[in-house]
Structure 1
Amino acid sequence: MPRKRKRYKTISKKKLLKLKPFLDDLVVNIEEPDYINDDPVQFMYAFEDKADKELAGFFAATMAWGRRDIVNAKVEDLLQRMDYKPYEFIQNYSESDTPVFEGFKHRTFKPIDIHWLTKTLQSILLKFQTFERFWAFCAEQAKIQKRELIAVFHDQFFTLHPEIPQRVRKHVSNTEKNSSAKRLYMYLRWVIRKNSPVDPGTMSFIKPSELKIPLDVHVARQARKLGLLSRKQNDWKAVLELTKRMKMLDPEDPAKYDFALFGIGVLGSRIPDELIINKNVE
């Protein structure tokens, strides 16, 4: 029998409520307009038109893998290839435009991946008119099928072009494969949260209360230190566990605590020693 992985200690509900002021202060201090300048969300602010914002944001979130400065440079490169008109470019895209993507590379993204993502987005716009209507359709189907939104989004996204190579599919997460879906839930944080100094809040097909925490290695590490996450794996079960605790602190807007945990991990904020539950977090 394989040995069960040890879990990290978790915080009691009483201590969790005592932790709330610390996390809330971090959110207030980090969720400020200056945050936008170094984050891929900046590409949603680069456009006036809602369609341009949402499509540029989708590419930015999908490519948000690795150091933020490199991600930002790669998204800039991609949008430049689209003449900074993502909606118009996607709508009018044809096979003759594929040379535009030649030489593009980011992590495992290659021209073939961008080609098929663009082609699929074009089909979505043709069928649903707007990207938000496609998301709304997926959300409705998720409720009918009693499945997670991201899993349905993944299925529907690739239904439009069954001939898409398998390699392209890995760039759109599927929670039914136990993926944390960090990049897609970051995108949803951007488009769903309203009245935020950072998140543009362009869509309304679900409520902020339905969002999950975008779980990356930085957020997960700080969550474990604070006793907010017991799982050692950064997977879908960990997302559900962490989001459940964040909903205890703010049932209407749990995803705002992404700013606090990300800020501790990346932006240099410090956890007071008395708040650390697990000192030996890997």
Structure 2
Amino acid sequence: MELKTILDELYAGRSQVHLANDPLSFCHRYPDPRDREVVGLIAAAFAYGNVKIILRSLEGIFTALGPAPRRFVERFEAKRELRRFAGFKHRFNDGRDLCALLLASQTMLREAGSVEQWFLQFKDETEADMTGLLSRATEALKGLDYAPVFGGKGIPVDSYFPFFFPSPASGSACKRLCMFLRWMVRPADGIDLGLWQGLSPAQLVIPVDAHIQRICRFLGFTSRKQANWRMAREITARLRELDPADPVKYDFALCHLGISEGCDGKDLAACLKCPISEVCPKGER
């Protein structure tokens, strides 16, 4: 069976069980698209580490934000929310970092009316993918006024807030930002949301986490060992050969082979049952 056929079948077999085990699930809780893009930005920012811890942290955040997260962000007051989130911790990000993210979201809404319109100001029609847009957008995000949260001038050196907004210019794979863009830009298909119309799915770059890195190396999509922007673009280029208009459509299904199905490339019994074993050398042992 051809690789494209196998991956298309894998894409078609995605399930709500997989979605429930994914930070994207929080966006699906809210029917209003205006809430969904704000929730997506926050959920993606904290989507690092163990998935159970990610979901637990996000549950706490969105419980606090209530039934209308965009309205909460629009009414954000740093002094009040710093008290509310004083005990928050997700790995090395704390309540200050969360409040700075909420302030950044508020600034985007105030300046552009939506998160999409704020990002679109960095779009360049001549660019083939998101490299330039993300580089310019993350630089601008880190340059916003965060004095209401941090006090003084700029982001303090002891804050991990900049971790939310890595840049392709520094070589980062920008996994969480690429994931956020996938959620927003890809057509609505029961998993991704299709909320943004100003960017093309063809321009997306795959979010490279440990699962995508491992599985795509197995499939021969990359020979690189370091999960960086070069690897992300290299994998995306191979996927673009299979679906030029929507290369990142395969990301969720491939990623959940690891997240939800337990693929680690070591368990032969699991490899033999894997839906991509026919094209994955690990499944041929």
- Structure 1 segment 25-174 matched on structure 2, within 5 A: 25-30=9-14, 32-97=15-80, 98-140=82-124, 143=127, 148-161=132-145, 163-166=154-157, 167=159, 168-174=161-167
- Structure 1 segment 225-264 matched on structure 2, within 5 A: 225-264=218-257
Q: CA RMSD in A?
A: 2.3
Q: Structure 1 residues 25 and 99, CA, compared in 2 at 3 Å: closer, same or farther?
A: same
Alignment TM-score, normalising by the size of structure 1: 0.85
Q: Partners in 2 of 1:90 and 1:273 — Cα distance?
A: 45
Alignment TM-score, normalising by the size of structure 2: 0.84
Question: Could you say which residue in structure 2 is the equivalent of 1:19?
Answer: 3
Q: Partners in 1 of 2:244 and 2:163 — Cα distance?
A: 31
Give CA deviations for 1:60-89 in whole Å, capped at 9, x if unaligned. 111011222221111110112223432112
Query: Which stretch shifts more, 224-233 or 82-91?
Result: 82-91
Which of 175, 195, 211 is the aligned partner of 2:188?
195
Q: AA paired with 2:8? A: D
Question: Could you say which residue in structure 2 is the equivalent of 1:5?
Answer: none
Q: Contact between 1:142 and 1:148, CA under 8 Å: does it hold in 2?
A: no
Identity %: 30
Q: Structure 1 residues 133 and 114, CA, compared in 2 at 3 Å: closer, same or farther?
A: same
Q: Structure 1 residues 273 and 126, CA, compared in 2 at 3 Å: closer, same or farther?
A: closer
Q: Which runs of 5+ in 1 are unaligned?
A: 1-16
More contact order relative to length (CA 8 Å, sep ≥ 6): 1
